[in-house]
Chains A and B, each alone.
Chain A
Amino acid sequence: EVQLVESGGGLVQPGGSLRLSCAASGFTFSSYWMHWVRQAPGKGLVWVSRVNSDESSTTYADSVKGRFTISRDNAKNTLYLQMNSLRAEDTAVYYCAREYSGYDYWFDPWGQGTLVTVSS
């Protein structure tokens, strides 16, 4: 079964850091582009970041550029999101998602999400 499972969310103070992980199984992880998408409470989905299959290219939403870093370990079938200088507005459920092929612009599957709460 193709599956993505996020972990690493929690409560963190403003200005703090957190690293999210997304464990992939059931497919050849190293062949796919991967993404992070988030949803703040009561809001819609927002794309956060993307990494290509060999980590040679990454892109970020303007709102997180310079603070978040996406990475992957293809040997461990795991995607990461290092989040620094966290702000209250970063509070959200964070989902990892697989893009079928580069520049397809659709995602399947998604993980169930991990909640990040930034609050003092």
Chain B
Amino acid sequence: QSALTQPASVSGSPGQSITISCTGTSNDVGSYNLVSWYQRHPGKAPKLMIYDVSKRPSGVSNRFSGSKSGNTASLTISGLQAEDEADYYCCSYASSTTSYVVFGGGTKLTVL
């Protein structure tokens, strides 16, 4: 059981927008702007897509955006492309645990 809750899968057609949610508690997502998102293609290294809830690292497409409302963070991908098909993981600082960070269970994005 992961500390943060993500949907197991989402799907969308090329060109569409999708949103992946990441639900935590007031001890993590809800109280700290320390949410990050990672993309992982099979057999590849996870890649940072968003940090500090909504900041995008240099080199990451502006089709990727992050936001937060209450205890739920979200990753939105607009203009879906085939190469976006991957697993996505959210991550947050959590004050209620001795773990440095906590992760979500991951969401498999399928581009139809």
Question: A-side interface residues toward B, CB under 8 Å?
Answer: 4, 35, 37, 43-47, 50, 59, 61-62, 95, 97, 100, 104-113
Given contacts A35-B100, A47-B99, A106-B91, whether A112 and B44 have CB atoms under 8 Å apart is yes
> Is B57 at the interface (CB under 8 A from chain A)?
yes
| Residue count of chain B within 8 Å CB distance of chain A | 26
Chain B residues 66 to 112 lying within 8 A of chain A, measured CB to CB, are: 89, 91-93, 98-106
Chain B at the A interface: mostly helix, strand, loop or mixed?
Answer: loop
> How far is B91's CA from A113's CA once the two chains are assembled, in angstroms?
18
Chain A at the B interface: mostly helix, strand, loop or mixed?
Answer: strand
Chain B residues 52 to 68 lying within 8 A of chain A, measured CB to CB, are: 52, 57
> How far is B46's CA from A112's CA once the two chains are assembled, in angstroms?
7
- A4, A43, A100, A105: the one within 8 Å of B91 (CB): A105
Question: Is A62 a contact partner of B98 (Cβ separation < 8 A)?
Answer: yes
Residues of chain B contacted by A109 (CB below 8 angstroms)? 45, 47-48
Question: Is A111 a contact partner of B36 (Cβ separation < 8 A)?
Answer: no
Question: Is A61 a contact partner of B101 (Cβ separation < 8 A)?
Answer: no
Residues of chain A contacted by B18 (CB below 8 angstroms)? none
Given contacts A45-B103, A46-B103, A105-B36, whether A110 and B98 have CB atoms under 8 Å apart is no
Residues of chain B contacted by A4 (CB below 8 angstroms)? 45
Closest CB in chain B relative to A44 CB, distance in Å: 4
Measured CB to CB, the nearest residue on chain B to A109 is B45
Measured CB to CB, the nearest residue on chain A to B43 is A112
> How far is B45's CA from A13's CA once the two chains are assembled, in angstroms?
27
Question: Is B103 a contact partner of A105 (Cβ separation < 8 A)?
Answer: no
Question: Is B98 a contact partner of A43 (Cβ separation < 8 A)?
Answer: no
Given contacts A44-B89, A45-B106, whether A105 and B100 have CB atoms under 8 Å apart is yes
- B92, B100, B106: the one within 8 Å of A44 (CB): B106
